[in-house]
């Protein structure tokens, strides 16, 4: 009898899994049909997670592109039936506020990427709530459809990594993101107030800034006082010689331990020598200004393993 019950249970589980896969395939076909009818320029990419032979694969990754067209609510109603997806990418599309807020039904979602996305608000206010993503860990944000101040991202309990591309952070908009450990900001506008506020984030360990100009030396000094920051990556015109000096002036043994300066157009050998006074354990520099062998040797003697590459025009 026990063997019979075990066999029945196994068959029931297998049947349930097969039915789940069948429903997912039906849903995917419905989405493709709706897109063909309402958004012919749109495309849908689906990846299934790997699974043992005895268990059907489930949808894990979804990417929806629409060539800047509006995607109807009916498409998202079907898309949200794929509740097991862990990664969702929305690219070059517009969607209603209703559809945006309903993304919160994806309780398994761990990574969300919004690239050139427009949310069509149902009211005159410019403030928009954030869907409830209980397991979201990574947010990639390449859109300006509302102010960073109104994202309320601190309400997402597991969010630890944020990547902003082309988003203006002109005030202390990020100071409430006390749960994040990694922040990446590329392009856009970052004010001194924003950079200074990052010092207050108690868990921030990695900060990546790319192609951001206009930050004052005083703001770099404030950032260097952060006690949680461990890795600082600066690319492009983000920092100059004076900024490096102020960064080092406040650098202590509790400050960040690794610094990467990449594809910099303005930092010179003279500016790099300020780093002799730092407590860095790792240094990697690629500057388009000429750096003498003497400067490289001095830094490498102070910071063992330091890598310094220069390429003058």
Residue 209 lies in a domain: yes
pLDDT digit string, tens, across residues 197-213: 898 899 999 999 998 87
Residue 89 lies in a domain: no
Segment 75-101 mean pLDDT: 92
pLDDT the model gives residue 149: 46
* Average pLDDT of the chain to the nearest whole number: 83
Residue 180 lies in a domain: yes
Residue 266 lies in a domain: yes
243 contacts 217 by C-beta, under 8 angstroms: yes
Instruction: Identify the CATH number of the domain in which residue 237 sits.
Output: 3.80.10.10
| Number of folded domains that form the chain | 1
What tokens appear for 306 in the block? Answer: 């330091």
Segment 78-98 mean pLDDT: 92
Res. 52: pLDDT tops 50:
no
pLDDT the model gives residue 150: 56
Residue 114 lies in a domain: no
Segment 261-269 mean pLDDT: 90
Res. 262: pLDDT tops 80:
yes
d(CA 185, CA 167): 8
pLDDT-derived band at 270 (thresholds 50, 70, 90) equals: very high
d(CA 26, CA 13): 20
pLDDT digit string, tens, across residues 290-311: 899 999 999 999 998 899 998 7
Q: Which three-class secondary structure state does DSSP give residue 261?
A: strand
Residue 60 lies in a domain: no
What is the chain's alpha carbon radius of gyration, rounded to the nearest angstrom? 24
Residue 112 lies in a domain: no
Q: What are phi and psi of 52, to 5 degrees?
A: -60, 160
d(CA 133, CA 159): 9
Domain that holds residue 211: 160-313
Give the closest residue to 224 by CA, choosing from 157, 277, 294, 287. 277
pLDDT-derived band at 173 (thresholds 50, 70, 90) equals: low
Residue 188 lies in a domain: yes
Neighbouring-strand partners of residue 63? 45, 89
């Amino acid at each position: 009898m026990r063997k019979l019950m075990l066999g029945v249970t196994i068959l029931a589980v297998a049947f349930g899994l097969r039915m789940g896969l069948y429903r997912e395939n039906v849903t995917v076909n419905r989405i493709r049909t709706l897109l063909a009818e309402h958004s012919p320029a749109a495309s849908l990419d689906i990846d299934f997670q790997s699974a043992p032979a005895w268990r059907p694969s489930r949808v894990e990754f979804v990417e929806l592109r629409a060539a800047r067209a509006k995607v109807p609510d009916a498409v998202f109603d079907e898309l949200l039936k794929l509740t097991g997806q862990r990664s969702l990418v929305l690219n070059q599309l517009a969607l209603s506020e209703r559809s945006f807020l309903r993304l919160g039904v994806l309780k398994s979602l761990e990574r969300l990427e919004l690239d050139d996305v427009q949310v069509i608000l149902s009211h005159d206010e410019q403030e928009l709530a954030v869907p409830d993503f209980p397991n979201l860990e990574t947010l990639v944000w390449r859109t300006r459809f509302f102010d960073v101040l109104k994202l309320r991202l601190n309400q997402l309990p597991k969010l630890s990594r944020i990547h902003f591309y082309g988003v203006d952070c002109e005030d202390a908009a990020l100071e409430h993101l006390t749960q994040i450990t990694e922040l990446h900001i590329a392009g856009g506008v970052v004010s001194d107030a924003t950079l200074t506020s990052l010092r207050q984030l108690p868990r921030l360990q990695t900060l990546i800034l790319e192609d951001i100009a206009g930050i004052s030396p005083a703001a770099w000094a404030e950032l260097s006082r952060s006690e949680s920051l461990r890795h600082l990556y600066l690319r492009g015109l983000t920092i100059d010689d004076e900024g490096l000096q102020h960064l080092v002036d406040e650098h202590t043994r509790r400050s960040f331990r690794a610094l990467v300066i990449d594809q910099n157009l303005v930092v010179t050998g003279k500016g790099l020598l300020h780093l002799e006074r730092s407590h860095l354990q790792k240094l990697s520099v690629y500057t388009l200004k000429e750096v003498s062998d003497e400067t490289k040797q001095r830094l490498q003697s102070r910071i063992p393993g330091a890598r310094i590459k220069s390429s003058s025009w």
